């Protein structure tokens, strides 16, 4: 455990061990904090990302610093993060402090310039976000909402919204999700079981598609009773 403490110098193995411990510890911390910290970079998540990066970077690059202090600090920060997340769910005032309410940038087709300044974005950025959402004309927008995580939600005027089967009063079939039952030559038995099929059925379908074995298949997806097979690229 010498690599764990401050040293005058570290051997190659000690550097590797220090990096491995820090990596596993960071994975554990991310697991405890939950998917929210990765899926949404809000104020609390941004602060945590900056702090964690700085805390772990120094002992991984400086042999004169030990890992113990960094890990204790990390544990305290993770506890504070979890507590902050819990408080934001239970205490509305604290939630509004961390995640302010969304506000309109466009309302009834009119640009709210004061709110653009409040969000610290320019017209060019607003237009760029429109292009990312594949909206070519700002006149098609009824509302644009600035979200607490920094994204913009766009809502089209009804006359520009895509027509749905419900609008046309058409009967639709239930949605069936495709399941990847073979990935890179390996059968995913869990996905196969969720589809209500077994390995014998899969092999019979592979033979029907002139496939000798699952190892020859790059990807196979199952939707209902239909098996779609994707092959490895031709290496010739």
Reported pTM: 0.56
* Residues 87-145 pLDDT 10s: 877 877 777 776 778 889 998 888 999 999 888 888 998 999 999 999 988 889 999 99
Specify the DSSP class assigned to residue 231: E
Specify the DSSP class assigned to residue 150: S
* Residues 143-177 pLDDT 10s: 999 887 778 999 999 888 888 888 888 888 888 88
Structure tokens at 196: 């209500």
The whole-number average pLDDT for the span 45-65 is 72
Which domains are present in the chain?
A: 2-95 (no CATH), 103-160 (3.30.240.20), 179-231 (3.30.240.20)
Mean per-residue pLDDT of the chain: 80
Q: What is the pLDDT of residue 131?
A: 92
Query: What's the CA gap between 91 and 80, in Å, rounded?
Result: 15
Report the side by side order of strands in the sheet with 186-187.
186-187, 179-183, 217-223, 226-231
Structure tokens at 178: 């495709």
Structure tokens at 82: 């979890």
* Residues 197-207 pLDDT 10s: 999 999 999 98
Phi and psi at residue 137, to the nearest 5°? -135, 125
């Amino acid at each position: 455990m010498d690599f764990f403490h401050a040293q005058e110098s570290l051997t190659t193995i000690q550097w590797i061990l220090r990096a491995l411990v820090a990596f596993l510890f960071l994975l554990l911390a991310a697991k405890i904090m939950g998917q929210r910290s990765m899926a949404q970079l809000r104020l609390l998540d941004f602060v945590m990302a900056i702090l964690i990066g700085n805390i772990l970077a120094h002992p991984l690059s400086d042999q004169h610093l030990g890992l113990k202090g960094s890990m204790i600090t990390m544990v305290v920060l993770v506890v504070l993060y979890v507590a902050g997340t819990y408080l934001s769910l239970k205490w509305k005032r604290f939630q509004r402090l961390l995640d302010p309410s969304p506000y309109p940038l466009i309302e009834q087709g009119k640009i709210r310039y004061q709110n653009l300044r409040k969000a610290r974005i320019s017209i060019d950025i607003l237009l760029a976000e429109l292009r990312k959402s594949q909206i070519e004309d700002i006149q098609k927008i009824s509302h644009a909402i600035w979200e607490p995580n920094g994204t913009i939600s766009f809502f089209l005027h009804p006359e520009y919204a895509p027509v749905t089967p419900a609008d046309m009063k058409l009967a639709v079939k239930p949605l069936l999700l495709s399941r990847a039952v073979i990935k890179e030559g390996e059968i995913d038995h869990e996905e196969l079981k969720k589809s209500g099929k077994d390995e014998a059925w899969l092999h019979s379908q592979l033979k029907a598609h002139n496939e000798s074995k699952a190892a020859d298949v790059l990807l196979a997806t199952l939707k209902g009773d239909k098996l779609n097979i994707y092959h490895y690229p031709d290496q010739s």
